[in-house]
Structure 1
């Protein structure tokens, strides 16, 4: 776990730094500087772009990671890298052309409830294409075991540039309308920087050639498009549905709640960047005993770290909502529902990486498509009845069902098991500490109360987990820190 722990730790620190900047933007600057309408509009555009991104990427970011280690010569690798960059661009042209033909119909559909969307609709495919090629060049770096810089751009760079743009709104250097366009420019800039870094790591030698096993590549790519679309629809589909049934300001209220809950998934996002190529290599080499060990380690490590984050959010949620404007305060239940779904997905470890690198991945992907239909249907039922609470409930049900399906697939088909007795101990510790601290509120300023309670939770949680050796790797990391302090 040397390189995994090293780069995962760096990625976790970077990702939390990014979420720290994102918290400033989301909880304070967006609501106050942009207002609910343009905050919601920006979020809606990014959500739709993220949903269509897999269509522009044609799944090549995952295909690159899976198949790169199977090529043995520099010539074969150059052909493969060229293919992963040029093929999506070729197929994006007809997608854009189709969008142009049906532009008026799409415009009427997405803006029938919220006309403000109409003037910015063309930004969606532009940002989607930037996101797609960012992921491809980031994968280019990851297969060469360089995951940190791309993660920095993705998690910190994008939010930092947005912070600067928000400051520009505050000082009237730009308008809120300018900010929406500048956001698109920020994603284009992130693409250029990541592309330059990928080329620095491995100088390209572009060739117009089809790599060997092209049939296998394209077949895998097709299913990965489904996979990416499923994952992104489960992540952002609720915001798209909200735009169809409610005034756009509700997306802003919902976005704050989901941002808070998404912090729980940060450790998984950080570890996934480096674990994915290692998982692909272990499966290619048929080292299933080592893979099973990795599976268990990633599961318990993510459970301990993610459980700590979830606990910190849940016990402070009431004070946290005292800080944001009052009109946003109806999302506490949303935080709990989305947070629990993310926590369950997180404790599955590198489950996704295993599935996407096995020959059985097709069945789970089609199941994912079915669950997206379920999620859309649930949103259509519950949003008109319960608003953003209904959308959160639909997301909780659909993501939980999808996670259970993926877990059962890996257990039944591959006989790999992520859970141990430590899993139950960790669940028990987290639940008991939640009961102990949630109802204990300090009569202070909310920020002071959050700080004080967080310190108490941190000390208690780390001590108990260390004492019971819930995770050997985390205990070893703590020992290293203690040794350095001494």
Structure 2
């Protein structure tokens, strides 16, 4: 876990800085800037959602192919040339389909006039996202995951913050805001591309090994089928809300979803660096190392997620009280989404293990299973309970999906992430929550948030140290205590 820990720390700095800026944007700025026009905020989220879904298919699996086959590729330039070619061909195919079927799609989904007028921006976003994913895989394969993480989490959000300020003070109109918003994604792609050239990671060759190409392309087809279904699931609730309700409800749901999704932040840094290490371990048949990564990452993610989940649970009423009234209706959404993300964290990296194993084909069936669950639960619960129904559907889908997939990984490869430490961590969450939730504090929401969060963090740190739940987190606590608290 040494490399993972070092890279995770660097990534976590970028991730948490990005989350802080994103929280400022999402909780403190977006609701007030778009208070009179929440449908504009909903439009931004829907455009990004469609773009993320389409881009997961348009790159034809190129980014995942590069990550999986990089450790054993004899000629790296051949692999890069092939995956880049896939992305180019895939995007051109998407562009043709988008050009001819855009209006038909909008009619089928019964889109709002606002979405219909601006839907063409999806094509530009798909281009930016597809190629950014590929060059992110290049960077991650060279164990430099911090650069794409910084661009995704920090750079984009700082730029959006500037745009929000400009729009708030009427220095730009919404159409100009939207143009600049789209341009940010193109700029971050250009920066990442130039950095890969600077570090001499982009070399090309048109001499391909046909047998290698066949295996790689076959793998890519499975990945885009399964991975595309997974991405579709992650954005499907927003699309269904726009279909059944309206863009305003998308904005309200998006805010609550963001608060609940803060819990998943630790998994991004650990997953990004663990993926190439798991791939290398499979290549070397080092199964004990895979089990070690699986179990350690599970408890580490569970503890880190527990801290964030506790802070959200304890402070949700105070957080929502800060917002404009129309945006403060998402408490149930926050709780269901937070619980779903905590399930994802404790389940660990079984998805990465499947991707890099000989059982990668099963990903297709699992993600199709997830899509079906998500589709039917959203179909049932959104008309009944609105945005709360969408969150409930997400929780049920994530819980069933992770349970089935973990059982499969255990049956096929004998890997499982749990131990008595997992149970202790769960009990820790329950005890700390009920111990603090009824403590009377001040009438000032921000003061309450700070006090409860500090107490919760201290109690978690004490529990981790006392029960020796995680060597990695204990080490970080000790370093913090020695370097900053001087005790």
TM superposition score normalised by structure 1: 0.96
CA distance in 2, matches of 1:461, 1:332: 24
Deviations, residues 117-175 of structure 1 (Å, cap 9, x unaligned): 01111111211221111111011011111111111001111111100111110222211
Give yes or no for contact 1:141–1:201 (8 Å, CA) kept in 2.
no
CA distance in 2, matches of 1:202, 1:408: 42
> 2:50 is matched with which residue?
48
Check if 1:349 corresponds to 2:351: no
CA distance in 2, matches of 1:357, 1:68: 12
- Structure 2 unaligned blocks of 5 or more: none
The structural deviation recorded for 1:211 is: 4.2
Structure 1 segment 137-176 matched on structure 2, within 5 A: 137-176=135-174
- CA RMSD for the aligned pairs? 1.4
Give yes or no for contact 1:364–1:409 (8 Å, CA) kept in 2.
no
CA distance in 2, matches of 1:461, 1:380: 39
Deviations, residues 262-299 of structure 1 (Å, cap 9, x unaligned): 11000001111111100110011110011111111111
CA distance in 1, matches of 2:386, 2:345: 27
> 1:240 is matched with which residue?
239
Specify whether residues 321 and 77 from structure 1 end up closer, same or farther in structure 2 by C-alpha distance, changes over 3 A only.
same
TM superposition score normalised by structure 2: 0.96
CA distance in 1, matches of 2:440, 2:378: 34
| Residues matched between the structures, number | 482
The structural deviation recorded for 1:473 is: 1.5
Deviations, residues 78-118 of structure 1 (Å, cap 9, x unaligned): 111111112211122122112222222112234x3521101
Deviations, residues 366-425 of structure 1 (Å, cap 9, x unaligned): 131132122112212221111101111111111211111221111111001111110101
CA distance in 2, matches of 1:375, 1:285: 37
> 1:462 is matched with which residue?
461
Give yes or no for contact 2:226–2:366 (8 Å, CA) kept in 1.
no
Deviations, residues 41-69 of structure 1 (Å, cap 9, x unaligned): 10111111111111122121111111001
CA distance in 2, matches of 1:480, 1:332: 36
Structure 1 segment 213-228 matched on structure 2, within 5 A: 213-228=212-227
CA distance in 2, matches of 1:134, 1:160: 18
- Structure 1 unaligned blocks of 5 or more: none
CA distance in 2, matches of 1:200, 1:158: 21
Secondary structure at the residue paired with 1:13? helix
> 1:65 is matched with which residue?
67
Aligned match for 1:210, one of 200, 203, 208: 208
Check if 1:426 corresponds to 2:425: yes
> 2:5 is matched with which residue?
5
Give yes or no for contact 1:351–1:406 (8 Å, CA) kept in 2.
yes
CA distance in 2, matches of 1:209, 1:332: 56
> 2:177 is matched with which residue?
179
> 2:17 is matched with which residue?
17
CA distance in 2, matches of 1:52, 1:250: 23
> 1:319 is matched with which residue?
318
CA distance in 2, matches of 1:226, 1:431: 39
Give yes or no for contact 1:22–1:159 (8 Å, CA) kept in 2.
yes
The structural deviation recorded for 1:221 is: 0.4
